[in-house]
Structure 1
Amino acid sequence: MHLLGAESIGLSYPNRTVLDGVTLGVSAGDRIGIVGRNGDGKSTLMRILSGDIEPDSGRVTARGGTTIGYLRQTDDLPADSTVRSAVVGDVPDHEWASRAHVRDVVSGLLTGTGIDLDARIGDLSGGQRRRTALARLLAGDWGILALDEPTNHLDMTGVRWLAEHIKRRWPAGQGALLVVTHDRWFLDEVSTLTWEVHDAAVDAFEGGYAAYVLQRVERDRQAQAVEAKRQNLMRKELAWLRRGAPARTSKPKFRIDAANALISGEPPVRDTVELVSMATSRLGKDVFELVGAAAAYADAQPVIEPTDWIVGPGDRIGLLGANGAGKSTLINLLTGQLEPSAGRVKRGKTVRTAILDQQLRDLSDIAEDRIRELLARRATEVSTAAGQLTPTQLLERLGLGDVLQSRVKDLSGGQARRLQLLLVLLDEPNVLILDEPTNDMDTDMLAAMEDLLDTWPGTLLVISHDRYFVERVTDDQYAVLGHRLRHLPGGVDEYLRLAGAQEAAATARPGRASGAGDGTVPGTGTSAGQASAAEVRAGEPGLSSAERRRLDKEAKAIARRIDRAEDELAKLDARLAAHDQSDFAGLAALTQERGALAAEKDDLELEWLDLSERLED
């Protein structure tokens, strides 16, 4: 069923044409991700389709009764209003709480993340305002949701929640989604179609981000695209999608044989052995070592409990955790910006650390300089696994070859971020720390930065809520949970399970002190030689070693049963979505089966929590 259409729409500014003769349509059931370079018109297209602005030419038509909910990049929440009134208006609590989807939104975006419903909007942080604006939109009933960068200010748990909410918001074949975001994991999770905005046109691709990458590479190959460098970059990213992210391989709708043929000669994204060898020659064997190190501010509760941790040459580590969990504090311990409150920190004598943070303060002093002037004052060559590169070659690798004559102040946000990374690399550090490096970057920019980092020979530490980026550029992940540093052999998925268990434990025992319900899963501690000392604790008083081992074994068995139940629930959800919606008897049977399985899973989780608490207390 057609919901929304654009016919020959065009929009121009004095210096360029943004859209020219674009015709497209949105049908019920469409979930459309919109991608393209910054400034190519993604948000403009969204604003035209949602009725926020009028095109210079052409027209936009909507089916009668179709409502569009539009999330802008900036909110218009009244500063004197409360969160409650902004999201649900003057509706009494018992009324909005009786609506399942509103209750889900309030819990998932607000109360579940510590935002008080009675808080004043003007007193909220930028991230809290963003969550409130998103909650206000999602609490409404809309035929079409148009979301412009909805994942900004959301951590990984929040992004996963949003993806799940969107997937279950409408029955199959109903509603429609338009989303602009740089979060490629989110795009792949929710999109069934992808629109690429480029050169005043819009190209449509079937499937999410992974399918889009394949089709784009194939399109470029067949046309012998002029942009050979970008073609190779996409081919490399496709190779990673197929080889390095197994969870995604079953999702794209394109032919797997075609994907394998395209990447048959493509090497792994990184030569890990060579990178570690080069890093060791530059760093020696020692980089950072925490020995019982802890961090606390004044008389406050410890931010990081006593921890043992070794960061070696060539390690590529992703550091995960909720906002305020202590990730930056841990980095400050490593770099010496913060002295430990207990224990000690050992740093290699040859360590040269550079930090790319969320701010652009380093560029303020050179705002009037031209890029070519900056490069002339810097190193003439930089060592990488691909050989020696000049500053100009690095500039090309980062997609900044056309800004040589530009002043720093005239760069876009994404260009400024890449220039900041370039200047950091030109100082030739051997330890690089990236703090939310993906801000203001489109998918092409991110791919270019990832490609460059693949050949950077040094120790890399990344703090980011961008799941795709973390999985793409790091080989090992750790998380700060409940003031403890935990190794994550299972990667981001394990972190999300631990974070969920921590939240469930806190909900089940609201009187428990902060940090006690830290989501520690029995038997899933850190790797040998890298365990947090705070995790090595005595079990329940009075438990013998044999009893403790028995409880630990039971907890692991139950955790495996929970995982199997989750897999079965996912399969049932897929069957429900694909089932004939007119077959009420069949739908009822599937729904009953799902309900029984969900109840069994809930019982298992309660049993697991009980065992966990006995082992931890």
Structure 2
Amino acid sequence: MANLLSAEKISLALGTQQLLDSVSLGIGGGERIGIVGRNGGGKSTLLKVLAGVHEVDSGRLTMANGVTVGMLTQADTIPAEWTVLQAVVGDRAEHEWAGEARIREVINGLLPGMDLHDVVGPKSGGERRRIALAKLLVDDPDLLLLDEPTNHLDVEGVQWLADFLNARRIRSDSALVTITHDRWFLDATSTNTWEVIDGRVEQYEGGYAAFVLAKAERARIAAATEERRQNLLRKELAWLQRGAPARTSKPKFRIDAANALIANEPDPRDDVELVRFATTRLGKDVIDLVDASVTLGGRELLTKQTWRLAPGERTGIVGVNGAGKSTLLRAIAGTQELSAGKRKQGKTVKIAYLTQEVRELDDVEGWRVIEAIEDVASYIMLDGKETSASQLAKRLGFSGGRQQARVSELSGGERRRLQFLRLLMSEPNVLLLDEPTNDLDIETLQSMEDVLDGWAGTLVVVSHDRYLLERMCDRQVALLGDGKILDLIGGVEQYLELRAHHLQAQAAFERQGAAAKGVDATSLAADDAAGAGAGGRVVSAAEEREARKTVARIERQLAKLAERETKLHDELAAAASDYGKAAEIDVKLRAVLAEKDELEMEWLEAAEMLA
């Protein structure tokens, strides 16, 4: 494995903060490295040092001869007068870029529906950032440095980027270094993880799951004194061990000692107790949308949909940008007028709504952080015990000294945390979160999840953060742009499959339309081939009808199995003290899960026929 870059005892201080303190590291060919750490801890500065655009105070940086470097920064540097095509492919001739499948794949994956001849200037910040990322992927440098590449990408875009990097950035003469707070993306793309902490760069083998395991092991061996941090790591580790089956990272080091940490660790949330407590606080009626429709700008985003929120329900909402996720959240909150149908709210419901804006902090700009929190309340009940504003602030990253800072001095991530804290201090029993991960680092996300683990109420989250949705929510629903709310039995993975089938069907429809108009559809077919995974076999009308029947049948069976599984879980919990009965129920539960796995595989096979 060729060594592309080496850093030897590099140090860098900005003001009074020592960001890098005698750090030595290397990047070899074929490596894919994820960088994590607290906001302001030096991650972006380290990336600039590796790119050679930021000088160090001392130490030496060595680059192998001929290595090309490309970096995606958080700054917007594309000239406003350039066209999208000019920004992405540069001075390449049309036959050169149009004839290369990799370049077409990047354009189709990151810039779907965007007119390549549009000028960059009027584009939104998110669109300009996707254009900059597309340019880097087209240029394909040996050392690719990405600073928060998943910002402004939806779940589908994040999946595409992970798949592309895993397929295209595996050469032994190239490497990838990524700063990201998206834990799913980190797990999916990284072979190593670097943590920038207190001027050091701690190196771990594997992605996020391996990072959590190794960090817990190191903490155990060193008998770390930071009790709170260890508790968070153990809880996160417990969820990783018992969580989503799609988690596939396999750490290559010994994990027996780390597993010992969670031998007696309970599940992150006691769902039965939380639902019981939530029902006590809320009663049986929370918020109902009945035959609800919402029309905005002449477009119907919701069409006669009924959704009844239950006490203690924890639901995540996914969907493409513009499908109406935030609109649905506003409809639940009662701030979005329905064009048809009705909204019913229980008498004891108290809603808190975390929007994507932080303008509500404008009124407390001159206050100290602790004053802004205590202005709402001084104490709340959390985890069944009284918690002070100062204690909760500390749990969410505001140390004693930082609690005295002025709100006007806070960073974007700190303002987001303060906004969340003020909502919690109002003691809501229904919490609506619209993209809560914006500007938050991984450690803060862990703290927020830990706090919400002990919060009893109904939670609805809109997010593109796949890891957070799987970690915090027991159920996911999707908005696919057809005005319906679709329950996702298979979670985010099912949503991505549905979107892939939808896009392939849409492309087929466009080809048929082009053929009917006498238009040469060769280029459309070529673009489809780059993004399709169906294998190219032609499916007959009879086979398609049979496949649709199979899919419908299996979905009905899966719904019944889900009800059966829930019932058996309840019975198992009730029989916890009766070993014999619990063993019988466990056998039944395993049979249900086995049948569910078989049906899901059959569903996938039938669904591929419809792709």
Tell me the TM-score normalized by structure 2. Answer: 0.83
Distance 1:489 1:605 in 2: 15
Which secondary structure does the structure 2 equivalent of 1:296 belong to? Answer: strand
Alpha-carbon displacement from aligned partner over 1:181-210 (angstroms, at most 9, x marks no partner): 000100111111111111111111111111
* Alpha-carbon offset, residue 603 of structure 1: 11
Code of the aligned partner of 2:50: L
Code of the aligned partner of 1:96: W
Distance 1:603 1:229 in 2: 46
Determine the structure 1 residue equivalent to 2:67. Answer: 66
Code of the aligned partner of 2:274: L
Q: Does residue 164 of structure 2 align to residue 168 of structure 1?
A: no
Which secondary structure does the structure 2 equivalent of 1:462 belong to? Answer: strand
Determine the structure 2 residue equivalent to 1:331. Answer: 329
Determine the structure 1 residue equivalent to 2:293. Answer: 294
Q: Does residue 182 of structure 2 align to residue 183 of structure 1?
A: yes
Determine the structure 2 residue equivalent to 1:487. Answer: 487
Contact 1:275-1:385 within 8 A present in 2 as well = no
Q: Work out the percentage of aligned pairs sharing the same amino acid.
A: 51
Determine the structure 2 residue equivalent to 1:531. Answer: none
Code of the aligned partner of 1:428: E
CA 1:253–1:391: 2 relative to 1, 3 Å: same
CA 1:412–1:250: 2 relative to 1, 3 Å: closer
Determine the structure 1 residue equivalent to 2:41. Answer: 40
2:383 is aligned, of 382, 385, 409, to 385
Distance 2:181 2:393 in 1: 22
Contact 1:356-1:424 within 8 A present in 2 as well = yes
CA 1:549–1:511: 2 relative to 1, 3 Å: closer
Distance 1:214 1:125 in 2: 39
* Alpha-carbon offset, residue 511 of structure 1: 8.4
Distance 1:548 1:48 in 2: 55
Determine the structure 2 residue equivalent to 1:272. Answer: 271
Code of the aligned partner of 1:445: T
RMSD over aligned CA atoms reads 2.4
Alpha-carbon displacement from aligned partner over 1:492-533 (angstroms, at most 9, x marks no partner): 1011111111211211113899xxxxxxxxxxxxxxxxxxxx
Determine the structure 2 residue equivalent to 1:552. Answer: 548
1:311-350 equivalences under 5 Å are: 311-350=309-348
Alpha-carbon displacement from aligned partner over 1:300-349 (angstroms, at most 9, x marks no partner): 13111111211111100101111110111112222222222222222212
1:256-267 equivalences under 5 Å are: 256-267=255-266
CA 1:128–1:80: 2 relative to 1, 3 Å: same
Alpha-carbon displacement from aligned partner over 1:571-590 (angstroms, at most 9, x marks no partner): xxxxxxxxxxxxxxxxxxxx
Distance 1:511 1:168 in 2: 27
CA 1:401–1:169: 2 relative to 1, 3 Å: same
Determine the structure 2 residue equivalent to 1:6. Answer: 7
Which secondary structure does the structure 1 equivalent of 2:342 belong to? Answer: strand
What number of residue pairs does the alignment pair up? 533
1:608 is aligned, of 582, 593, 610, to 610
* Alpha-carbon offset, residue 169 of structure 1: 1.0
Distance 2:188 2:422 in 1: 34
Code of the aligned partner of 1:492: V
Tell me the TM-score normalized by structure 1. Answer: 0.83
* Alpha-carbon offset, residue 259 of structure 1: 3.9
CA 1:551–1:236: 2 relative to 1, 3 Å: closer
Determine the structure 2 residue equivalent to 1:508. Answer: 508
Segments of structure 2 that go 5 or more residues without pairing to the other structure are 514-540, 556-603
Contact 1:241-1:249 within 8 A present in 2 as well = no
CA 1:152–1:512: 2 relative to 1, 3 Å: farther
* Alpha-carbon offset, residue 260 of structure 1: 2.6
Alpha-carbon displacement from aligned partner over 1:15-69 (angstroms, at most 9, x marks no partner): 2211111110000011111111111111111100111111111121111011111
Distance 2:27 2:189 in 1: 16
Alpha-carbon displacement from aligned partner over 1:119-138 (angstroms, at most 9, x marks no partner): 11111111111110100111
Determine the structure 1 residue equivalent to 2:127. Answer: 128
* Alpha-carbon offset, residue 554 of structure 1: 3.7
Determine the structure 2 residue equivalent to 1:452. Answer: 451
Which secondary structure does the structure 2 equivalent of 1:383 belong to? Answer: strand
Contact 1:558-1:604 within 8 A present in 2 as well = no
Q: Does residue 399 of structure 2 align to residue 397 of structure 1?
A: no
Contact 2:311-2:457 within 8 A present in 1 as well = yes
Code of the aligned partner of 1:553: K
Segments of structure 1 that go 5 or more residues without pairing to the other structure are 514-542, 560-601, 610-617
Code of the aligned partner of 1:608: L
Distance 2:196 2:295 in 1: 48
CA 1:606–1:558: 2 relative to 1, 3 Å: farther
Contact 1:109-1:135 within 8 A present in 2 as well = yes
Which secondary structure does the structure 2 equivalent of 1:26 belong to? Answer: strand
Determine the structure 1 residue equivalent to 2:476. Answer: 477
Contact 1:332-1:338 within 8 A present in 2 as well = yes
Which secondary structure does the structure 2 equivalent of 1:332 belong to? Answer: helix
Which secondary structure does the structure 2 equivalent of 1:509 belong to? Answer: helix
* Alpha-carbon offset, residue 252 of structure 1: 3.0
Distance 2:103 2:315 in 1: 38
Distance 1:234 1:512 in 2: 54
Code of the aligned partner of 2:252: K
Code of the aligned partner of 1:510: E
Alpha-carbon displacement from aligned partner over 1:72-131 (angstroms, at most 9, x marks no partner): 011201111110110012323332021121111111001x2x221111111111111111
Distance 1:339 1:359 in 2: 20
Code of the aligned partner of 2:161: L
Contact 1:242-1:248 within 8 A present in 2 as well = no
